[in-house]
Chains A and B, each alone.
Chain A
Amino acid sequence: MKLMQNILKKIKPHFEEGGKLQTLYPAYDAFETFLFVPNHTSDSGTHIKDSVDLKRTMVLVIIALIPCVLFGMWNTGYQYFSQLQEGMVGFQDNYSHWEYFVFGLCKVLPLIIVSYVVGLTVEFYFAVKRKHQVNEGYLVTGMLIPLIMPIDVPLWMLALSVIFAVIIGKEVFGGTGMNILNPALTARAFIFFAYPTKMSGDKVWVHQADKIDGVTGETALGELATLINVDSSNIDVSNIFNQFSSDGVYSLSNAFFGIIPGSVGETSVVAILIGACILLFTGVGSRIIMGSMFLGGFLMAYVLNLVGPETNLFMSLPPIHQLCLGGFFFGMVFMATDPVSAAQTTTGKIIYGFLCGVLSILIRIVNPAYPEGVMVAILFMNVMAPLIDHYVVQANINRRLKRIQNNE
């Protein structure tokens, strides 16, 4: 440790003013403060400060994501191998969980690496150009992006979406803390609209699904979306119905544990809830947003239950089952709670979270163009969040003005 400190001390002059590499000082600083919490002492205001800082906060979110990452790796392998049939290349009678995991690891790791390398490169570039410190925000974004992508997304596309997200989603507004949209969702929205064939349909959610015949690689929501405006006496419809019964592929328990096709990290409600517990216990995640979004989604699904015809499975699916599908829980725990793009006042958070939940389910069920509504709902509410806050703050201002009038 002493050695490392000495090395840092030795190379530091090169990066400081007058040194050959002074333009790269932010990069050096990021590296130094990554290794050592600096020896800064407070020079104004309080003489003591809480031990927590942004690095700690961000690393806790990453720890909360680990269950999703690990499960996503296992599920990637499982979904792939369970599609293989006798006579196909690589087919075996049974595979071990370990094989599922290692296979998934090999597929998911490149996504994570590309996301971090590309994203951090852009971040460092901006830090150097704008001469500010490298903020920690991307540590979380970089992990979130691979988890909300389909497993077979081409790496160049991923890289492009990361660049788009960091520049348009964040840096044009001034960097971490200033952005309006959630950067990770911005990346997903980019691919969703720029390369729709890689982000929707029934061939992208399982590795090499397009190369295997007869694959059931559709997401549950994709299956459900096919039911809209279809005659309920149709034989296909009852087949699809059966997949959601208790022994079907998309049964409540499968959806809850996450053994269904979907984006890498979004499928397992169990893994997400473990993460949610970590975020809530440490106080990093907002329990208000999570709670109100769950309530909003649940109520909306329940209302559609009441108004929808029995035969429209999409509407008649029980609320809990509805919420366990797709990215609802992942969006609720890791996306909507992003403190920068969410509402900032307590009242604002309740409204924001509730509407995130309502819109997610509404878009998902009522608009057949988007079989999954969570991404669009949260992005929309990100845009609305400052407006909600504005009115909450205005109420405070009005209270104060009223007090003056009462005095007069």
Chain B
Amino acid sequence: MERIKFTSPVSGVVSDIVRGAKRKILEVVIEADSEIDYKPFEKRDLASLNRDSIIQDLLISGLWPVIRQRPFSTIANPNEEPKAIFISAFDSSPLAPDNDFIFHGDTDLFQLGLDIVSQLSNGTTHLNVDGNSNSAKVFSNAQGVQINSIYGPHPSGNVGVQIHHIDPINKGDVVWYIAPQDVLAIARFFKDGKYDASKIVALTGAKVKKPRYYRIIQGMSIAPMITDNLLDGDKRFVSGNVLTGTQINQDGFIGFYDFQISVITEGNYSEFLGWLLPGFHKYSLSRTFFSWINRKNEYDLDSNTHGEERAFVMTGQYEKYMPIDIFPVHLIKSILIEDIELMENLGIYEVDPEDFALCEFACTSKIPVQQIIRRGLDLIKKECS
């Protein structure tokens, strides 16, 4: 694992290192030069690439971390061979960027990336496209990979859900997955011989004046994008989408695996008898508020929890938003009691916190579901290593 390198996306000077609990490194802040200087790599003959040389090049270039693995959602181990590689070509989460738009004009580059990536495994490389609409040709005409159409609402775009239905993970299996824009980054590296860490992200959310796409450099501060582009009021900045993203400051940095920035209203208000009033304007998946009379298409969902955490009471709630054949509440309870054998039996290897995001959203008892799943995965990883 020590072969994995993290390459700075820009040339410049390290100005700060932010550490968290147990001196874990949280952020390395680099002040970029005005003109970015790239370390040149030897250009490869694309025809002569093989698995070992690709892995070697990805490791030294610093691109390796874009390849992640299930179970555990960690950076892939270059010494292992996955049974399959998954690429979800679409993002079904709220206000997600549209890959059909982002990939416009990149057909050849994407195909080159697929050709390289698919050599990393002897198994199948799956390219999963949105079955609900006609995907762009860049995805639907891709060669050398298995194209699967995925139907249904969120979380259909989650790679974990797709893996479960196409080639489920059993104990001991490893599957690698890559975001489609990172496939482009890999292709650019092998084509141009330099680590070009640019990517396209979407600036979204109810507090943004003009939502739009930006071409940025990996790990950039969001400050330039939001300047003069926000509405008034308390705001929450999220790197990623509102269901699974990470909260950042307004001069914070976009996450390595995120292609979206969400700015929503910070719901730090108390509401008088809010649980008793009819609630004509309150969004709920249930019909417990009178908003069912007048379903709008747009709601300003804020970060208020709308209640406090309680023990599990309601049942059948999670299953509605869980398109995987597992019992979510039983799995969560097995994690809470740290029963590793039960967790394995109930399918912990097949899940990721993001697959539970909608359950957490819908939860009447406000249980921190994603946190619990993460804790379970970490525990298993620690015990089994």
A54 and B364 contacting across the interface, CB-CB below 8 Å: yes
A7 within 8 A of B: no
Within 8 Å by CB of B315, from A40, A178, A342, lies A342
Within 8 Å by CB of A52, from B269, B286, B346, B353, lies B286
Q: Chain B, 353-385, contact with A by CB distance < 8 Å: what is the 0/1 string? A: 100010011111110111100000000000000
Q: Chain A, 269-312, contact with B by CB distance < 8 Å: what is the 0/1 string? A: 00000000000011110101000000000000000000000000
Which residues of chain B are near A51, meaning CB under 8 Å?
279, 282-284, 288-289, 291, 306
Which residues of chain B are near A39, meaning CB under 8 Å?
267-270, 304
Within 8 A of A (CB), among B327-362: 327, 329-330, 345-347, 353, 357, 360-362
Q: Among B70-78, B112-120, B127-135, B237-245, which stretch is in contact with chain A?
A: B237-245
Measured between C-beta atoms, what is the minimum distance from A403 to chain B in Å? 6
A137 to B272, CA, bound (A): 21
B308 and A45 contacting across the interface, CB-CB below 8 Å: no
B171 and A57 contacting across the interface, CB-CB below 8 Å: no
Which residues of chain A are near B272, meaning CB under 8 Å?
1, 4, 35-36
A131 to B238, CA, bound (A): 34
A53 and B316 contacting across the interface, CB-CB below 8 Å: no
Which residues of chain A are near B289, meaning CB under 8 Å?
51-52, 56
A400 within 8 A of B: yes
Which residues of chain B are near A4, meaning CB under 8 Å?
272
Instruction: Kindly name the residue among A175, A288, A345 whose own CB sees the greatest number of chain B CB atoms within 10 A.
Output: A345
Q: Beyond A45-B360, A46-B244, is A53–B275 a contact (Cβ under 8 Å)?
A: yes
Within 8 Å by CB of A396, from B264, B325, B353, B360, lies B325
B287 and A346 contacting across the interface, CB-CB below 8 Å: no
Interface size bracket, B side? 35 or more
A47 and B327 contacting across the interface, CB-CB below 8 Å: no
A60 within 8 A of B: yes
A5 to B308, CA, bound (A): 18
Within 8 A of A (CB), among B275-302: 275-276, 279, 282-289, 291, 301-302
B270 and A38 contacting across the interface, CB-CB below 8 Å: yes
Within 8 Å by CB of B314, from A5, A42, A57, A178, lies A57
B61 within 8 A of A: no
Within 8 A of A (CB), among B183-216: none
Within 8 Å by CB of A48, from B243, B271, B315, B330, lies B243
Instruction: Kindly name the residue among B262, B312, B370 whose own CB sees the greatest number of chain A CB atoms within 10 A.
Output: B312
Measured between C-beta atoms, what is the minimum distance from B173 to chain A in Å? 9
A94 within 8 A of B: no
A403 and B287 contacting across the interface, CB-CB below 8 Å: no
Interface size bracket, A side? 35 or more
A46 and B243 contacting across the interface, CB-CB below 8 Å: yes
B142 within 8 A of A: no
Measured between C-beta atoms, what is the minimum distance from B283 to chain A in Å? 6
A135 within 8 A of B: yes
Q: Beyond A46-B361, A178-B311, is A403–B168 a contact (Cβ under 8 Å)?
A: yes
Q: Across the two chains, which residue of chain B brings its CB closest to A132?
A: B311
A37 within 8 A of B: yes
Which residues of chain B are near A196, meaning CB under 8 Å?
none
Within 8 A of B (CB), among A14-52: 33, 35-42, 44-52
B308 and A50 contacting across the interface, CB-CB below 8 Å: no
Which residues of chain A are near B283, meaning CB under 8 Å?
50-51
Q: Chain B, 54-69, contact with A by CB distance < 8 Å: what is the 0/1 string? A: 0000000000000000
Which residues of chain B are near A393, meaning CB under 8 Å?
327, 330, 346
A407 within 8 A of B: yes
Which residues of chain B are near A281, meaning CB under 8 Å?
287
B310 within 8 A of A: yes
A399 to B327, CA, bound (A): 12
Measured between C-beta atoms, what is the minimum distance from A407 to chain B in Å? 6
A201 within 8 A of B: no
Instruction: Kindly name the residue among B168, B243, B314, B371 whose own CB sees the greatest number of chain A CB atoms within 10 A.
Output: B314
A45 to B266, CA, bound (A): 15
A133 to B368, CA, bound (A): 17
Which residues of chain B are near A57, meaning CB under 8 Å?
288, 313-314, 364
Q: Chain A, 198-228, contact with B by CB distance < 8 Å: what is the 0/1 string? A: 0000000000000000000000000000000
Q: Beyond A41-B268, A47-B242, A56-B275, is A346–B319 a contact (Cβ under 8 Å)?
A: yes
A109 to B276, CA, bound (A): 22
Which residues of chain B are near A13, meaning CB under 8 Å?
none
Q: Across the two chains, which residue of chain A brings its CB closest to B357?
A: A46
Measured between C-beta atoms, what is the minimum distance from B191 to chain A in Å? 38
Measured between C-beta atoms, what is the minimum distance from A396 to chain B in Å? 6
A49 and B304 contacting across the interface, CB-CB below 8 Å: yes
Instruction: Kindly name the residue among B236, B287, B305 whose own CB sees the greatest number of chain A CB atoms within 10 A.
Output: B305
A316 within 8 A of B: no
A45 and B370 contacting across the interface, CB-CB below 8 Å: yes
Q: Chain A, 364-408, contact with B by CB distance < 8 Å: what is the 0/1 string? A: 000000000000000000000000000001001101110110010
B147 within 8 A of A: no
Which residues of chain A are near B7, meaning CB under 8 Å?
none
Which residues of chain A are near B310, meaning CB under 8 Å?
53-54, 133, 135-136, 176-177
Which residues of chain A are near B363, meaning CB under 8 Å?
49-50
A40 and B308 contacting across the interface, CB-CB below 8 Å: yes
A48 to B302, CA, bound (A): 6
A55 within 8 A of B: yes
B273 within 8 A of A: yes
A339 within 8 A of B: yes
20 pairs of residues in contact across A and B, judged by CB atoms under 8 Å = A37-B270, A40-B304, A44-B368, A47-B262, A48-B242, A48-B264, A49-B363, A49-B366, A50-B283, A50-B284, A52-B288, A54-B364, A56-B307, A135-B311, A286-B315, A342-B315, A344-B316, A344-B329, A349-B316, A403-B170
Top 6 A-B residue pairs of the complex, sorted by shortest distance between their CB atoms: A53-B307, A177-B311, A37-B274, A45-B370, A55-B275, A51-B282
